[in-house]
Amino acid sequence: MDTTLTPAAPPSAPYRDRKRYAWLLSLLVPCSVGIGPAMMVATGNPAALWIPVAFFHLVVPLIDWILGEDLSNPPESAVPALEADRFYRWITFLLVPILWTAFIFSAWFVMHYELPAHAVLAMVMITGSVGGFCINLGHELGHKNTPLERWLAKIILAPTGYGHFQIEHNRGHHRDVATPLDPASSRMGESIYRFVLREMPGALRRAWALETDRLRRDGQPLWSLHNEILQPALLTFVLWSVLALWLGVQVLPFLLVASLWANFQLTLANYVEHYGLLRAERAPGKYEPCQPHHSWNSNHIFSNWALFHLQRHSDHHTHPLRRYQSLRHFDNLPRLPSGYFGMFTLTYIPALWRYVMDERLLAVVGRDANRINLDPRQREALIARYGLMESSTVNGALTRT
């Protein structure tokens, strides 16, 4: 596969970011979680709480389909000024208090109104969406080198108790991505329900191991505030304790379940981003460097606005310090048929996910089993089902298994 990245030629006129003010949408999308509660209060009908849930799962994929894809890139000559422009940075800064407010409001609303069970479930999913946006923002901020942004990443990861993500993602996932070593890279044949049982505990174990090793090398005690997992965990403890004192201890089960759903949004993203893609093993346990074709991409306009270009994932893994406004589209890379919100909905029905994605994956890797991150429990069955080849050669030709 040709992995050369060849962006579009730069325009002759001075570059102007056509999406500059569209990024403000990222401040508004999380606020949509208030629509359901507002309509419930206005109408007295708890079913209105399902409106934001339907918006993210059904309406956003439709908007992505209507608006289509944006394949434009900033020219490299414009990137230094684009990244230095603090307008883009302030959007991420302002989103931190907005998301904290939305999370606290959701907890207050559930405790303030007597809701039927289905309405509480809707609020769990609404609050989980807020938490998912928290993790996405923590992802953008946590990759940056400024102390302020790295601390804001810890603060925004705290509401749902997922503060270990910054360590696990930056120092673990980026190292092991698209290999069998990575609990955050999904395998062909692995459903989202099997993946979450491997990804969530695996990510926590890897984060703890990485931080333990760092503290040992730095000569710092593990159980101290030098531990960057314990720092956001303390923030979580303080926030949840304050909410329990204010709203009653009955809020704690709601916070726990909503946080699990929020953290599952990250699992969904991880599942979609690298499904079945595999880096070549050069020696036992040693893999080729991560290349652009080891990530799935989407250029769908609306969901990229909402997610700070998270869906331009190949450029992110190639240049993890690159800011969201500078991430680029490149041709000839694995591309998803929809934005993440639409793909998330597909994952809930594994047969539908396989119908949409398996042949797409096989086209990317040339039906070569040795270039696929296969679920080891299903390896032989998948090879037989799809008639895959393995890239051992006999007289210069590929042999079919």
Q: What is the mean pLDDT of residues 243-267?
A: 97
pLDDT at 263: 97
Mean pLDDT of 175-187: 96
Farthest CA pair distance, the chain: 75
How buried is residue 308: exposed, middle or buried, by Cβ count under 10 Å (0-12/13-18/19+)?
A: buried
Q: What is the mean pLDDT of the chain?
A: 92
CA-to-CA distance for 236 and 169, rounded, in angstroms?
19
> How many CA atoms are closer than 13 Å to the CA of 337, on its beta-carbon side?
11
- Name which residue leads in pLDDT, 330 or 140: 140
pLDDT value at 400 more than 50: no
What pLDDT shows up at residue 368?
A: 94
Q: State the Cα torsion 78-81-82-88 to the nearest 10°.
A: -170
Q: How far, in Å, CA of 385 to CA of 399, rounded?
A: 16
Tell me, what's the pLDDT at 13?
A: 64
**Using the 8-state DSSP alphabet, how is residue 46 labeled?**
G
Taking CA atoms, 299 is separated from 11, 212, 293, 315, 363, in Å, by: 20, 38, 15, 12, 19
Q: Residue 397: in which H helix or E strand, if any?
A: strand 397-400
Residue 25 is predicted with a pLDDT of 85
Q: How many CB atoms lie within 10 A of CB 366?
A: 13
> Which residue's structure tokens are 């005690």?
221
Spatial separation of the C-alpha atoms in residues 224 and 230, rounded to whole Å: 8
Please give the helix or strand (H or E) that residue 243 lies within, else none. Answer: helix 230-247
- 10 Å Cβ neighbour count for 353? 19
